[in-house]
Amino acid sequence: MISKTMKAIVCHGPYDYRLEDRDVPTPGKHELLIKIVACGICASDCKCRSGAAMFWGGDNPWVKAPVISGHEFFGEVVAAGEDAEAHFNVAVGDRAIAEQIVPCGKCRYCRTGSYWMCEVHNIFGFQRYVAEGGMAEYLLVTEHCRVHKIPENISDDDAAFIEPMSCGIHAVNRGDIQLDDVVVIAGAGPIGLGMVQAAKLKSPRKLIVIDMVEERLELAKTFGADVVLNPAKDDVETEVRALTDGYGCDVYIEATGVPAGVVQGLNIIRKLGRFVEFSVFGKETSVDWSIIGDRKELDIRGAHLAPYTYETTIDLFSRGLITSKGIVTHRMKLADYEKGFELADSTDSIKVLLQP
């Protein structure tokens, strides 16, 4: 029985998030209604809540409040509009996930297959025009969403981690890791720990993980890190150069979300290395661009969202080759969202899930 109203966490502005009653949407043609099982709190959600300029700056902020938050969700299909099951290749009763972006299908990027760079760029939980977010009891999946079925052998925790894991896999793919590479992943947050698992599957010569939190470094070891370094007590540049005959790492993946992580990477990467920038930053960073060009001729690559990786992630979870065990540390009710956000924005948690 689908109720007529639902609870939802609605973003009205920085530090103005409210638990409200909303009408449960009714799916139309090519639309699905998903009953949410869990929705993770992302670092970008925390930065949005704290008023970061990339979300709220300018006369026309990127976030279109009021909007139901959340993009790391999954759930069960409980209703389908006309032709929706055939359109999305899922059926009522299936567990399913929608990718975090709702591409417009019309811009030059969508038309050429680069849908994740859609010029309109509607993301669940930030813009309300196409779809509201997943921090609610129900979510409406609209026609242009990209939907994937989740097999029953994938646990709820793993299913809730499909979105961030898919982002991590995309970043690792952008690094073009080779068998003889020394790879550094800077930042062992939820997605960084997902990257460690994905990078290990690429079998690099050596995998180094950098973070300030010892518990996260210990977890990175269990996921396959060969060396872990803590900048608070280790001379990272000296250690990395000692492991690479003085040259520096071949691939550096930046997942710290702090400007120091960028500067660190430019210093420890070798000439002609591949630098993958993944993080969402709360403030601008300044670097010596002569390192990138004149001194090292680096290959700088961005990594945005999770294009064409959801099916890979679902397959790897299904085969037990990756896991959310140890990463998902807290599961909380929607009503406890304030505590959930505080935990997610601290080092007292890794991944916090909100569950209706």
Q: What is the pLDDT of residues 158-169, one digit of tens each?
A: 999 999 999 999
* Residue 90 in domain: yes
Angle at 236 between CA 234 and CA 242, to 5 degrees: 105
Q: If you ran DSSP here, which 8-state letter would residue 291 be given?
A: I
Average pLDDT over residues 116-139: 94
235 and 263 in a single domain? The answer is yes
Report the Cα–Cα distance between both ends of the chain, in Å, rounded: 16
Residue 331 has pLDDT above 90, yes or no: yes
Mind listing the pLDDT tens digit for each residue in 207-257? 999 999 999 999 999 999 999 999 999 999 999 999 999 999 999 999 999
Residue 282 has pLDDT above 80, yes or no: no
Say what percent of the chain tops pLDDT 70: 100
Count of CB atoms situated within 10 Å of the CB of 242: 10
pLDDT for 322 beyond 90: yes
Q: How many Å apart are CA 163 and CA 70, to the nearest integer?
A: 11
Kindly state whether residues 157 and 172 are assigned to the same domain: no
Pair (13, 135) in one structural domain: yes
Q: Which residue spans within the chain are E strands per DSSP?
A: 5-13, 16-23, 32-40, 67-68, 72-80, 95-98, 101-102, 122-123, 138-141, 147-150, 182-186, 206-210, 227-229, 249-254, 269-277, 299-302, 328-333, 351-355
Give the total number of structural domains in the chain: 2
Instruction: For residues 10 and 68, state if they share a domain.
Output: yes
Q: Domain of 101: which CATH number?
A: 3.90.180.10
Q: What three-state secondary structure class fits 317?
A: helix
Q: Are residues 297 and 342 in the same domain?
A: no
For residue 232, being part of any structural domain is answered with yes
Q: Which domain holds residue 186?
A: 168-302
State the angle between helix axes of 162-174 and 310-318 in degrees (0 to 180), rounded to the nearest 10: 110
| pLDDT on residue 285 | 87
Among 295, 262, 299, CA closest to 281:
262
Q: Is 336 exposed, middle or buried (0-12, 13-18, 19+ CB in 10 A)?
A: middle
In angstroms, rounded to a whole number, what is the distance separating the alpha carbons of residues 250 and 219?
Answer: 23
pLDDT of residue 23: 97
Residues 64, 85 within the same domain: yes
Under 8 Å between Cβ of 257 and 187: yes
Q: Is residue 296 part of a domain?
A: yes
pLDDT of residue 281: 83
198 and 328 belong to one structural domain = no
Has residue 313 been placed in a domain?
A: no
Whether the pLDDT of residue 335 is over 80: the answer is yes
Q: What is the DSSP letter of 28?
A: -
Which residues are CB-contacts of 106 (< 8 A; sequence separation ≥ 6)? Answer: none
- Structure-token match 């299913």, residue found: 159
pLDDT in tens, 295-321: 999 999 999 999 999 999 999 999 999
232 and 193 co-located in one domain = yes
Q: What is the pTM of this model?
A: 0.97
Asked, for residue 175, whether it belongs to a domain, the answer is yes
Determine, yes or no, domain membership for 117.
yes
CA distance 244 to 190: 27
Would 206 be classed as within a structural domain? yes
* CA-based nearest residue to 354, from 324, 329, 339, 334: 334
Q: Distance (Å, rounded) from C-alpha 235 to C-alpha 276?
A: 22
Tell me: pLDDT of 206 over 80. yes
If asked whether residues 115 and 95 sit together in one domain, one would say yes
CATH of the domain at 251: 3.40.50.720
Domain co-membership, 56 together with 154: yes
Calculate what percentage of the chain has a pLDDT beyond 90. Answer: 94
Q: Is residue 309 part of a domain?
A: no
Q: Are residues 121 and 59 in the same domain?
A: yes
Strand bridging mode 122-123 / 101-102: antiparallel
Let me know whether 141 and 185 are in one domain.
no
Q: Please count the CA atoms within 13 angstroms of the CA of 23 that sit on its side-chain side.
A: 3
CA distance 195 to 283: 23
